Structure formats: structure tokens, C-alpha cells
Chain A
């Protein structure tokens, strides 16, 4: 019963992500790849993603401090971030990345800065939402194993 409750909770959380468009269908694809032999696949992927993307973001924020900004390098990092965000299904983050790239391409420094802040915010929010989700999942699966 307890586990069932948790199970429902997890499901509800997950659904909310889709509803809010925090996640898109690519996330479902990842879930499908999960199996008995790799039950934590999605979580592993996300851990990796969160770790790499924070590094990207920090690099970008640093790059913004230099004058003149190395937009080529930044675009390259944003491109990478775009690819990985898209692959994991981080919808909102992806959108912010695209926006930032666009603004950067136009050369508007102020707007780029603002966009990067937005991106960072979105990322933090994403992380804040997904981490408890996975923790709950993990706890639940452990409990179920018992």
C-alpha cells in the first residue's frame, strides 16, 4: 500500500512534467529503453546530463564575462547543450537554449545576457523537479525489492 501510494505519487509527478512541458516525448523514449537489466538507465542518463550541462552553463557564464565575448565558442557550447537537452527530453531547457543561441547570433549582448539568465533559471528549475522524482523512484524500487 505504501509502495502503491508512492507509485502513484511518482506517476503523478511524471505526468505533471509532461503537462507542464518540462519534459517531452524523448523522455518517454528513454524510459522505453529501460529494462530489467538496466532499471536505472534513465536516472543514469539524467545524472550525466545534469552534471555536464551545469558545466556547460558555468562555462557560458564565464565566457560572458570576457570582453569581447567569444561567441563562437559560446555557440558551440550551446549547440552541445541543445543536443543533449533534446536527447533527454528537457523541453523547456531546450527552448531556452535555442532562444539564447538566436539572440547570441544577432549579437545583442544585453539580450544574450538576459537570455542566459533565463536559461540558467530554467535549468535549475528542471533539476529541482527531476531530482526528487528520481530519488522517489529509487527509494520506491528499493522498497519494492524488499
Chain B
């Protein structure tokens, strides 16, 4: 049976792969449901596997979250549902949940022996479909298929609803549409909608699945256009119709925009909440002496938290801690970990693509969490690596963090560096190193805007971002950036899809980006000449393209950030601090605020440039997204409270917004840590 088709509809590819009417799956369903179960306890894992097999599901088991994520990334449409334990050593179950939500948009069920209300609530807020208390009974497992069906159904409904509402508006556009929102779909939707009401979910699913709902792929460019349009209108005034007009994309329907907007809004909201939390943390950290020593302490703290949150891979954590404490080995260790982090980050990037369609947008929380999660992990590491990098390079890279949301990570390092040399951004070499280390800089662009969703950039090439960022380390994306760095690794698998055409090696990508990035980048790239060498360090790590993105991004961001550098001085520090904490998002907001204002102007310019180049380079998904986000954010930052800065941008946006938010919050209220979903402080060790 093609259980795989269940996910099919969610993917960008044609929905035909999904359940088709008359498909034999419906008869056999839920048998054959592809379940991925993650639990670090082998006894429980064994029992669960047995139970799931008894339910006639197709089971894949993992005892580590990282393994599970890579499996999911390798085979995006290979699973229908994920069962995950909450407490795992390498990554917090909630972090994993966020990742999955952002990147794959699969239903996730959490499990735990803990039945405390808080934990269950956390599961809900993070977007879990269900929460099972251990010991899990087989009866509970027999019904998990309902979540798969429900999700698919909601996807369709969303589509339909947006379609039916827009019917009038869309009519004129439909003639233009070739791929999206064809009137046929509309008719189908309506039909299916009615049918849904009457029929069972399963049937509905089959029926709706037959509709070839064209899935709008929210590519980076598209999303950037979207964000640009939204910014132009103002988040409050942005109505789908106007956005659509501004975007002027043939084939895009009002419904597409409407649903995307909805997600974007949720995303922003989530980011603001999370970023606040992060900013609070950042504040705390920044308060500390940015010297390495303090960093270490922070790092330890952050690391734990991060580790707890799951973002920080266990090994990274170990490394970071080692680095923080002993500095000695940190750097070497970190790059690797960073890479991991990058990978994590990469997840986010794919998410941004919206390739999965609106569904990707899962929940704000998920996105937000994801973002936050990432930064946090990154930060500790980043800190360490940054430190080293900074110290070794002795400069500016501190500023780099600001480049993107990566700030969190970069921040620590950046801070230190920034303090020393905010002016020295040009020290590409150091930058490069920092970038390398902190991978954070994925979002070079971000830094300019305030640390915006560095994530998107971050993924690309942390290294590159460094170069560009040095100036603006403002590190909005601080916490995020660090994570971004990590992403590359994870992303590796995903990135390929992300159209990041960057070379396989970071170095290569950097070069590539150079070409791609006209104007800004070119200059940046040159500047980053120094980086290249450092980037090589990551080469091993950055096998994934994502890394290259970052570089590119960095380049781009760099230009824009140039302006902000001056402004960013303070921010950078804060950001670095933030980075250290890992909750850069929170801090960033505060910082971002001030930075935002400053960078806003600058960033806008930069954005434009980047946008132009980015658009030329489709591959720079992250960058673009980041840029836009940043732009949006910077604008928002000034105008709105951090909380609403980020619309529901998928993954990347979240990152960006988180970053921005961080900036803002830093400026506004250092301790606005609104970490609802993420209780970084209470991560069980």
C-alpha cells in the first residue's frame, strides 16, 4: 500500500502521490502506517516497537534524536508519524518536535513517564499532536493513525477554505494560473469540502487527495517577495489581496497568500514570545563579563540548557563545555559540533521553503521553538568557538554574529570580539574563523538587520557570514546564528534540495556565492578572502551546502551590516552575550531594537541589494529569506514590539524573527524572555 502517499500531499510534489480515491490504502489503513519511534531507553523502545508491529504498522526505531532527524531528513516522505520520548540525552524531545514540525511537518506524539501538567502543556504548546504517558498501552497506539488523517484533512481544509473565500478574487487570476489554484481545484475543493462534512475523515482524505491541489511552493524568493510586500503594507495592514498584488506573481492565488500570511503571523507571534525569552537569557549572559572566563561559565550554563533543549548535540555540548572550560580543545571540537548545529539549522531552511506547502507552517510554536532551540545550542558552542576564533583572530568577528539571527552564537564571540574591534570587521580572517567557528553567521544578512533570522543565512555559510558580519555583529541572530551553523550539517541532506547551489565545500560555495552575489557579495567575498582559509576548517564540517550559503549570506549581509556596525557596537556586545547564553533570541530583540532602528535603514538597502542578488541566485534561499526577514524585522522592530515582529514565517522566518526579536528585546527589555514553549531554565538534566 502506498502509505507513503500520505505524506505525498504535503510535499511540494504533486499531490497525486497522496491517497488517491480508490486507493487500496484506505482499505488497509491504518495498517502499514510508517511510524518512527524515538526513545533513548532500549527497554521502552523494544516494547514500543513490538506494540507498533502488533498494530500492523511499519516501524523504524531510533534511540537518539539525532539519528531520528537524519532519518527523517533523508527520507522526508518516508514516514507518516513520529513517536518521541520527551527526555533524551542528546536532544530534548521538544526540540526534536519543533524540528520535525518545521522541517517535515509530520504529526508528532510525545511520550513520557512524566504526567505532570506542565510537561503535557509543553507538549501541546510545542505542537505535539498527542501526549502519551508511559507505560504506553497498545490501545493508545492503535489510534495514533487518527493524527495522520487529521493533519491531512486540515491541510486540505486550509486549502479549501482559503480557496472558497477567495473565490471571487481568484477568478480573475485563475486564468493566469497555470499551476496553482486552478479553477478546477477550486471546484474540487468545494466539492471535497462538502464531502468532508458528510463523509468520514478517511474518505474525505481519499477524496480530497484525488484533487490535484496544486501546492504552492514557497521558495525563498517567493517568500521574500511575500515578506517584502507585507513589510511594505505593514504587518497590520497586510491583507492577502494587496500582498498578492504587490507580489505580482503569476499563478499565485489569494488563498495561497492568505494561508501563508496566517502562518507567517503565527510564526512571528511565536518568535516574539520565544525571542523574548531568549532575550532575557541573553541579557543575563551579557551582563556577565564577556571574557572568556565568563563565557565559559555561561557556556556551561548555556550548554546545559541548550543541551537540555536538545538543540545542542550532546557532543557539541561536551565540546563546548570543554571549550568553555578548557578552551583548549573547544575549537577543534566545536567546528564539528557546529557543523552539527548547522545541520540542525538546515532543517529550518527547508522549512522555510514552504515547499511542503502551507502545512509546513505547522505551528508557530514549533517554528519558534525550533528557532530558538537552534540558537541556543549554537550559542554555547558558538561561544566557545567564537572565543577561540575571536581570540585567534583577534577581531571583529564578534560582530559577525549580528549578521544574522545567528547572533546568539556569534554573540558571545562577537561580543568579545566586537568589543575589541567593532571596527575591525574587515578582518576577514578572523571573521572567517569566527564564522567558521560560530557557524552562526549563516545569516550575514541578519546581522545587519539585527540579527534577524540568521538562520536562513546561517545555514548557508557561517563562514561567509562572518566576513560580512564582522561589522555588524550586532548579532541579532545571535542565538540563532549559532544554531545556524549547526544546521549546515543537518541540512546537508536537506539543503541539496534547498536549491543552494553552493558548492559542496564551503570554500567552493563561498566562491560560488561570490559570483552569485553581485555587488555586495563581491566586495564581501573579497573581504572574506581571509575567511576562506578558515572556512576550510569547516570544509570537513560543511560538506553540506548550507554552509556555503552562510558564506554567501555573510557576504551579502556584510555589506548591509556595514552600516549597522557602527550602531551595533553595543548590540554586538549584547549579542555576544546573548550568544553565549544561547538565548540569543531574547536578547537579540532588545539589541535588535536599537540595532534594528539603525540597521533598518541600512538593512533595507542591503536587503534590496541582497534581494536582487539573491533573486539571481535562487540558491540562496536562506539568505533571501533571512534578508527579507531581517528587513521585515528591522522595520518591525522599530514599529512594533518584538513580539510581533515575525510573522509566521516558516522556519527561516522564525529564525529571523527570533533574531530580530532578540534584538529588540535586548534593547527594550532585556529580560523579556518570553520563553513560553521553551523553558530553557527547566530543562531536566
Q: Please list the residues of chain A having a beta carbon within 8 angstroms of any beta carbon in chain B.
A: 26, 29-30, 32-33, 38, 41, 44-45, 48-49, 52, 72-73, 75-76, 79-80, 82-84, 86-89
**B residues contacting the other copy or chain, number (CB 8 A):** 22
Contacts of B685 in A (CB 8 A): 72-73, 75-76
Contact with A along B128-167 (1 / 0, CB 8 A): 0000001111100000000000000000000000000000
- Find out whether the CB atom of B684 lies under 8 angstroms from the CB atom of A79: yes
Say if the beta carbon of B51 comes within 8 Å of chain A: yes
Hey, which chain A residues are within 8 Å of B85, CB to CB? Answer: 83
A33-B51, A52-B41, A72-B684 are contacts. A83–B134 as well, Cβ < 8 Å?
Answer: yes
Interface residues in B482-497 (C-beta closer than 8 Å to A): none
Minimum CB–CB distance for A18 against chain B, Å: 16
CB contacts (< 8 Å) of A48 on chain B: these are 42-43, 46
B54 at the A interface (CB under 8 A): yes
Inter-chain contact B46/A45, CB cutoff 8 Å:
yes
Give Cα distance in the complex from A80 to B50, angstroms. Answer: 19
B684 touches A76 (CB 8 A): yes
- In the complex, the answer to whether B87 meets A49 with C-beta atoms within 8 Å is no
Report the minimal beta-carbon distance from B113 to chain A, rounded to whole angstroms.
Answer: 4
A75 close to B684 (CB less than 8 A): yes
B124 interface contact, C-beta 8 A: no
Given contacts A73-B685, A79-B684, A87-B136, contact A45 B43 (CB under 8 A): yes
In the assembled complex, 7 residue pairs joining A and B whose CB atoms fall closer than 8 Å, in A order, are A29-B51, A29-B135, A32-B138, A79-B113, A79-B114, A83-B41, A87-B43
Contacts of A88 in B (CB 8 A): 43, 47, 135
Complex CA gap A82/B134 in Å reads 9
B53 → chain A closest CB, angstroms: 8
Q: Contact: B87 with A29, CB < 8 Å? A: no
- B291 → chain A closest CB, angstroms: 27
Note all chain A residues with C-beta closer than 8 A to B112.
Answer: 83
Complex contacts, A72 vs chain B, CB 8 Å: 684-685
Interface string of B33-51 (1 = CB under 8 A from A): 0000000111110110011
- Across the interface, which residues of A come within 8 angstroms of B47, CB to CB? 30, 33, 45, 87-88
Q: Whose C-beta in chain B lies nearest to the C-beta of A56?
A: B41
Q: Return chain A residues, CB-CB under 8 Å to B113.
A: 79-80, 82-83, 86
Return chain B residues, CB-CB under 8 Å to A45.
Answer: 43, 46-47
Are A80 and B54 in contact, CB atoms less than 8 angstroms apart?
A: no
Q: Majority SS of interface residues in chain A?
A: helix
In whole angstroms, how far apart are the Cα atoms of A49 and B51 in the complex? Answer: 17
Contacting pair B50 A76 (CB below 8 A): no
Within 8 A of A (CB), among B11-65: 40-44, 46-47, 50-51, 54
Given contacts A38-B50, A79-B684, 13 further A-B contacts (CB under 8 A): A30-B47, A30-B50, A32-B54, A32-B138, A33-B50, A48-B46, A76-B684, A76-B685, A79-B114, A80-B41, A83-B44, A84-B43, A84-B44
Contacting residues, chain A, for B87 (C-beta < 8 A): 76, 79-80
Q: A89 touching B135 by the CB < 8 A rule?
A: yes
Cα-based distance from A26 to B43 in the complex (angstroms): 13
Chain B residues with CB under 8 A of A80: 40-41, 87, 113
Note all chain A residues with C-beta closer than 8 A to B54.
32-33
Residue among B40, B41, B684 with max Cβ neighbours from chain A (10 Å): B41
Beta-carbon contact of B41 and A84 below 8 Å: yes
A76 cross-chain contacts in B, Cβ below 8 A? 87, 684-685
* Least CB distance, B578 to chain A, in whole angstroms: 24
- Residue in A26, A29, A44, A79 whose CB lies within 8 Å of B46: A44
A85 vs B51: C-alpha distance in the bound complex, in angstroms?
Answer: 17
Residues in A with CB closer than 8 Å to B138 are 29, 32-33
Q: Which residue of B lies closest to A48 (CB)?
A: B43
The CA-CA distance from A32 to B137 in the complex, in Å, is 11
Which B residues lie within 8 Å of A87 (CB)?
A: 43-44, 47, 134-136
Nearest CB in chain A: distance from B137 CB, A: 6
Residue of B nearest to A87 (CB): B135
- CA distance in complex: A73, B87 (Å): 12
The listed residue with most A CB atoms (<10 A of its CB), out of B40, B87, B135, B138, is: B135
A83 to B83, CA, bound (A): 15
Contact between chains at A29 and B137 (CB < 8 Å): yes
Distance to closest chain B CB from A134 (angstroms): 15
Cα A45 to Cα B48 with chains together (Å): 11
Contacts of A38 in B (CB 8 A): 50
A98 CA / B135 CA spacing, docked (Å): 14
CB distance from A72 to the nearest CB of B (A): 4
Give the docked Cα–Cα distance between A41 and B42 (Å).
14
- Cβ-closest chain A residue relative to B134: A83
What distance in Å separates the Cβ of B46 from its nearest Cβ neighbour in chain A? 6
Q: Which residue of A lies closest to B41 (CB)?
A: A84
Q: Find out whether the CB atom of A52 lies under 8 angstroms from the CB atom of B42.
A: yes
| A37 vs chain B, min Cβ distance (A) | 10
Least CB distance, A131 to chain B, in whole angstroms = 16
**Nearest B-chain residue to A24, judged by Cβ:** B135
Measured CB to CB, the closest approach of chain A to B319, in angstroms, equals: 19
Q: Which of A38, A52, A87 has the most CB of B within 10 A?
A: A87
> Which interface residue of A26, A44, A76, A79 has the most chain B CB atoms within 10 A?
A79
Minimal Cβ-Cβ distance residue in A for B46: A45
